[in-house]
Amino acid sequence: MIMKIGSGDVKELLSGRQTKGYAKLWTKFVDENPPYYNAYASPIDALRTGAILEDNYLNFLEDGYYAQYKCQSKELDVFISTIDYAKVERGKIVDFDELKTIWLTDYLGIIRPAKLLNEKDQIEFIKKRFKSNYNQIQFQLYCSEIESANLSFLSVESYEDEVNKARIIKEKDVTKFTIHRDKKVIDIIKERGEAFQYVKNHFK
């Protein structure tokens, strides 16, 4: 049994306890052989393109960032977070970027205008339009024990694999929103995690 809840499970974790998503999370939690998904081979253009561009994004960042960095909550060790790009200093996470790819027209028409809003309205925009990403970052902030991080949007201009593999990401292609710790959301995440922690403790 895998006995862990990852940052990608937050949507199901926070779903109603009578929903199929929540039941599916429990099935995955105790599964002996959880499914493995290879996004690079996905027939879905958006998923495959996102995986390719995520590799390129690391080259866009300054030195000191590590891709797919794992950290485990000290309080509830059932929570293990995989962070897209973590900045690590002296063995500790000090900042991170969670990346979301988005088609160019939406990037220019939705994301760039939202960046012009004041910080409070930016957060309200993220919570309304990208709630799952917001909650996922709260999970990651809880596991990493830092106060804020970035939700980064990268424009997608093509679904051609070879074009994306060769793409050099520039400043104009990326928009970042700073997400601070939200105690209310983190408290709900912790409360939902207690049942999974109890089961893990019982078996292990």
**For the whole model, what pTM was predicted?**
0.93
Distance CA 132, CA 145 (A): 20
pLDDT digits over 76-123, tens only? 999 999 999 999 999 999 999 999 999 999 999 999 999 999 999 999
